[in-house]
Amino acid sequence: MTLGSQAVPSGSEACTQQHPCQCDDTVPSTAGQGSDTSSKRGDSSPYLSVDPAPAAPLSTPTPELRRLLLDEHAPIFKRYTALFALRNKGGREEVAALEDSLRGRSALLKHEVAYVLGQVQDSAAIDALE
């Protein structure tokens, strides 16, 4: 162990010491999920980003995706699938669901939602990002 690693608290310790938010201790696992989201799901993304989870099928109703995204007890990986499906669908209802998720407790999810709202470049997303 190096001197630097002894002096720096772990990520979860640092987060709980400095922020009142709920901190996610782990990055969502994509093991066994595949990294090529378009070939695994059959839905292609109009964005060139490499997402940490595949989007849920675009045939999934928006209210169901919204419910999953806002469910703070759901695994972060599942919430990500809803997030990226809402992004790929686009539209006012989808952007509203993304905006509502910024009121949640997960700092990790809020970070990803802010990035996605920037990607969609919808005027409705501007207020949420300000």
pLDDT of residue 99: 95
Cα distance between residue 80 and residue 72, in whole Å:
12
What DSSP string runs through 34-101? -S-HHHHHS---SS----SSPPPPTTS-HHHHHHHHH-TTS-HHHHHHHHHHHHHH-SHHHHHHHHHH
Across residues 49-66, what is the average pLDDT? 95
The pair phi, psi for residue 91, each rounded to 5°, is 105, 160
The answer to whether the pTM exceeds 0.85 is no
- Split at pLDDT 50, 70, 90, the class of 43 is low
pLDDT of residue 15: 44
Residue 125 pLDDT exceeds 80: yes
pLDDT of residue 4: 46
Q: Where are the domains of the chain?
A: 57-130
